[in-house]
A and B are shown apart, each in its own frame.
Chain A
Amino acid sequence: MFVLLNHLQRLRRDTPRAPDRRRGSLAVRHVDAGSCNGCEHELTAATNPFYDLQQYGLNIVASPRHADVLLITGAITTRMAGPLRTAYESMPEPRLVAALGDCALGCNLLGDQAELAGPLETILPVDLRIPGCPPTPKAIAEALTAALHRPSSSGHSSGLIR
């Protein structure tokens, strides 16, 4: 155990850190609305010792009720459109919606139209777009840290900085 912790400490020491550590925090709730699991792997990877999202005040939380950002992956299937809306409606204001990956953005989308509910834009107001198939953990970390300091779609400061 001691050796293992030492190993992790060394790993962390050897990984270069981004110099910019502004204050603030965002609580992120993820919803998979019909992905290929690539975006989930990469979002999880963004919390590994190489990227360590938590150090920027970005935390993935268990409930939409605790969340500032709803981070949505995948083509929006007809079967997930309902649960997705429920998750959005249970979030406190102010809230941001982030589309993670090309499927959520409606690009190069594959599937049977009968099974898909339409692009995320037509279902929820999208504030933040993170392209990629899937976006790399680096791209995810950068986009989310940038979101800490961006105004909301209504033009006002997002009011999410605490």
Chain B
Amino acid sequence: MSTPHSASGHMPGAAEITAVPAGAWRQACLDANARGERFGGLFARRSASGPAQLRAVFSTPGSERLITCDATERTVETIVDTIPAAGWDEREAHDLHGINFTGHEPLRPLLDHHAPLAAWTVPTVGDDVHQVAVGPIHAGVIESGHFRFHVVGELILHLDVRLFYKRRGLETAATGRSLGEGIAYAQRACAACAVTNTVAYAQACEAALGLEPDDHLRRARTVLLELERVYNHLNDISAICAGVGFAAGVMAYAALKERAQRLNERLAWHRFLFDTVAVGRSAISLDSREAADARRELAAIRREHEAVWRQLGFVTSLQQRLEGVAALSAADAERFGAVGPAARASGLPHDHRLHSPRLHYGGFTAAVSDVASGDVAARTNQRALELRQSLELLDELLTRPLEHGTVRRRGGETRTAVGRVESPRGVTVCVIEREGDRLGALHLRTGSYANWPVLAHTVVGELMPDFPLINKSFELCYACTDR
């Protein structure tokens, strides 16, 4: 049943393929899960001739597995009862490729916006139960998406999240492009995760081509990823303050984020670090003067952050609004496949930076607080904890200039590979399938995609007016979920 035809276990990212018939799909996935391999996404792809093909990604720290099958009858058994994290993935595969997952009932539409309301919402009945529809256009400067709250008074009974209003079909459009061109699609999926998505894409391509980055390239990409994390975390703290209407905190952290983005522009000519990652080479170098300048500015940002953060601690009206709101237990975080700061704030020590041989994270330990209470306060504190860690990491990485990096041949070529990178919102998985030097398929499952269902679960039992705050404490992207 199991036919690994690219078992080069030494090449990080090269996926071991487990091809199974449709009837064995569920068991193959459950077996991988039982072996302790972590679920990293499920998707379908069209094939030029023949039935749609299903893929599921499972991984251990050092290996990637792709379980594949031809969905000949367009039907397989669901895995969502054992792996609830696959819920959205199965709904997406159904809406895009018509694949039925028996046992996943009802299989509610996720991307299909033509479905009647009753089909895609969970029925809630009882005295005074009503629905509140919000979006797709929101009151602030926010991405487009629709939320349907089922409430009694102000209490949230259930939330149906309907995203994909921003679906641009980037993965479909990337198919058939050269591997080098494809990176533009990964980048355009999301500005705030541009570095993460492009590094994940580049790593997948390099693994498929049997290439390994040299030390310069590892270091350059790690610097870029941490610069991305710094401005995102500063942004998130500002957004959380906005969630409770604490303007002084919003502005102080917005100013800090601005400083971080101006530094990005100085170092890489772009405030979101666009076009700094390329397949097989580095697209950025810093001489010793630029590196020293960056260290000085980052040290200044750190001093200002710590001063402002200390002040926020004294604002009891702010702190009391964060504590105890929307607590996510460690067990639920694990069960629903939560990732990133949201998972770590609930006490899970998952951080893919621990397992990133293609990057420069030697000696890294995941930041988990002693009081990982999983509530909004914990998610806020988690950002500060990680900010300090990232700023320390950058300070060390920038003690030397960044030279132009490259790749060297390490192993054989494979058709399929997986890139996996810890974004500011959690681990992002990028799967590529090659057809010669062209992209046969591209799949991007970002940290935001993993966490949206977790957010929907977390708001149950909370107050509707707290939703903006809870939402900001996760601060998920719509753009890289919709793609």
* Chain B residues in 8 Å Cβ range of A47: 254
CA distance A112 to B177 in the complex (A): 13
Q: Give a binary string over B138-154; 1 marks a CB under 8 Å from any A CB, 0 the rest.
A: 01111110000000000
Q: Once the chains bind, are B258 and A37 in contact (CB under 8 Å)?
A: no
CA distance A85 to B168 in the complex (A): 18
CA distance A137 to B258 in the complex (A): 10
* Chain B residues in 8 Å Cβ range of A30: 141
**Of A3, A38, A80, the contact of B311 (CB 8 Å cutoff):** A3
Stretch at the interface among B45-53, B184-192, B281-289, B364-372: B184-192
Q: Once the chains bind, are B190 and A43 in contact (CB under 8 Å)?
A: no
| Interchain nearest-CB distance for B144 vs A (Å) | 5
The residue on A at minimum CB distance from B193 is A37
Q: Once the chains bind, are B165 and A77 in contact (CB under 8 Å)?
A: yes
CA distance A56 to B314 in the complex (A): 33
| Interchain nearest-CB distance for B150 vs A (Å) | 22
Q: Is A31 engaged at the interface, CB distance under 8 Å to the other chain?
A: yes
Q: Give a binary string over A94-135; 1 marks a CB under 8 Å from any B CB, 0 the rest.
A: 000000000000000011101110000000000000000110
Q: Is A68 engaged at the interface, CB distance under 8 Å to the other chain?
A: no
Q: Give a binary string over A20-39; 1 marks a CB under 8 Å from any B CB, 0 the rest.
A: 00000000001111111110
Q: Is A145 engaged at the interface, CB distance under 8 Å to the other chain?
A: no
| Interchain nearest-CB distance for B310 vs A (Å) | 8
Contact residues of A: prevailing secondary structure: mixed
Q: Is B312 engaged at the interface, CB distance under 8 Å to the other chain?
A: yes
Q: Is B24 engaged at the interface, CB distance under 8 Å to the other chain?
A: no
**Of B137, B164, B173, the contact of A31 (CB 8 Å cutoff):** B137
Q: A60-B141, A74-B166, A112-B170 are in contact. Are A37 and B479 (CB under 8 A)?
A: yes
The residue on A at minimum CB distance from B139 is A62
* Chain B residues in 8 Å Cβ range of A36: 188-191, 194, 479
Q: Once the chains bind, are A38 and B191 in contact (CB under 8 Å)?
A: yes
Q: Once the chains bind, are A45 and B254 in contact (CB under 8 Å)?
A: yes
**Of A33, A134, A137, the contact of B191 (CB 8 Å cutoff):** A134
Q: Once the chains bind, are B173 and A110 in contact (CB under 8 Å)?
A: yes
* Chain B residues in 8 Å Cβ range of A7: 252, 307-308, 311
* Chain A residues in 8 Å Cβ range of B307: 3, 7
Q: Is B272 engaged at the interface, CB distance under 8 Å to the other chain?
A: yes
**Of A4, A31, A34, A37, the contact of B190 (CB 8 Å cutoff):** A37
Q: Once the chains bind, are B248 and A4 in contact (CB under 8 Å)?
A: yes
Q: Once the chains bind, are A31 and B272 in contact (CB under 8 Å)?
A: no
* Chain B residues in 8 Å Cβ range of A134: 191, 271-272
Q: Once the chains bind, are A8 and B169 in contact (CB under 8 Å)?
A: no
* Chain B residues in 8 Å Cβ range of A87: 137
Q: Is B257 engaged at the interface, CB distance under 8 Å to the other chain?
A: yes
CA distance A33 to B185 in the complex (A): 18
CA distance A11 to B113 in the complex (A): 46
**Of A35, A111, A136, the contact of B271 (CB 8 Å cutoff):** A136
Q: Once the chains bind, are B137 and A41 in contact (CB under 8 Å)?
A: no
Q: Is A92 engaged at the interface, CB distance under 8 Å to the other chain?
A: no
Q: Is B255 engaged at the interface, CB distance under 8 Å to the other chain?
A: yes
* Chain A residues in 8 Å Cβ range of B184: 110
Q: Is A49 engaged at the interface, CB distance under 8 Å to the other chain?
A: yes
CA distance A110 to B483 in the complex (A): 11
Q: Once the chains bind, are B168 and A116 in contact (CB under 8 Å)?
A: yes
List the 10 closest A-B pairs by CB distance, nearest first: A112-B169, A38-B191, A111-B168, A115-B169, A48-B254, A62-B139, A4-B311, A112-B172, A37-B479, A34-B166
**Apart from A7-B308, A38-B272, what 7 extra A-B contacts exist at CB < 8 Å?**
A3-B311, A34-B167, A36-B479, A38-B191, A80-B165, A110-B188, A111-B169
